[in-house]
Structure formats: C-alpha cells, structure tokens
Amino acid sequence: MTLDETQRKKVAEWIANGMKLSEIQNRLLSELGVRMTYMDVRFLVDDLKLTPKDVEPPKPIVPVATPTAAPPQKAAGGLKLEDAPVPENSVSGVSVSVDQLARPGAVVSGKVTFTDGKKADWYIDQTGRLGLAPQEAGYRPPASDVQQFQIALEAELSKMGM
C-alpha cells in the first residue's frame, strides 16, 4: 500500500515524536483509515529512511543485602574493618569468585570460601536478593565472615561494572 505525501509527512512526524511502530500502525488506522500490518509499517518506515527513536530503558538497580546496623568492628591495630585494605579476591581469608555464566534464575552468581575452609555458592536473583547455598547441609558461616564476604563481593562486582 502506498501513502500520499501528506500521509508520509504525518508518519515522519510521529517517528520524530518518538512513537513506536505499533503506535504508528494504530494511528494509521484510526486517523488516516489505512490498515497495515506491523511488518508493512516497518517496511514503510525503512522506505522513508526514518529511524525510530529508542527509548533508553531505566537501568536496573541490583541492591546487595547488607548486614543489620552493628557497631563497626575493630581489627588488629585499631583500624575499622571498613578501613582495612581489600586484597584482590580475598578479604581476611574469605575468597569470592564470580561465575562466567550465571546459574539459572540468577542475575549473577559465584563461589565463596570462608575462613574455616567451608565453601558455598552465592547468587543474586532478579529481585536483587543475595542468597547462599552452602555445600555442607546446615552450614552457617560466622557473622564476621558474612560481612567480609559482602565486602569482597561488592569489590568483585564493582570491578565488573555492576
């Protein structure tokens, strides 16, 4: 189906206003009485050498669970735990790695080894919840290890731009 010049200008105006192709398809029918399939509208826009504007989707925020407000712990030498230098993959014996391919149902996942040598898989799901799946059934890491794990995980994820 061919459109006359005024109809083509109308389509160009709609594209300039940021309308989606499906909205243009509906407008063609309601305002101009022209019935077109979605694919026909795509071809029309291409033939007119128009480019629809991409609306940038909001970037999702992935919150990492933080421990409840507790007084800062002092490490040896009087430094706060937060002030202690953070080695590359390890914080005071807690080592964290990030999987190349996230486990099913997770945005990002990896492995952690705690100071007592016990290992667990960790993951952050689509809602931003942090989860641990210890290899040993019923294992619960010490509270200080959990805090160190969260610091190391935040450091690793920030390296990845997350």
Query: Which one-letter DSSP state was computed for residue 103?
Result: P
**DSSP letter string over 35-79?**
---HHHHHHHHHHTT--PPPPPPPPPP-PPP-----PPPB-TTS-
Q: What is the pTM of this model?
A: 0.44
**Does 91 score more than 70 pLDDT?**
no
Coil vs helix vs strand at 18: coil
CB 129 within 8 A of CB 65: yes
Query: From start to end of 101-152, where are the E strands?
Result: 106-113, 119-125, 130-134
Mean predicted lDDT score pLDDT of the chain: 78
Answer whether residue 6 shows pLDDT above 80. yes
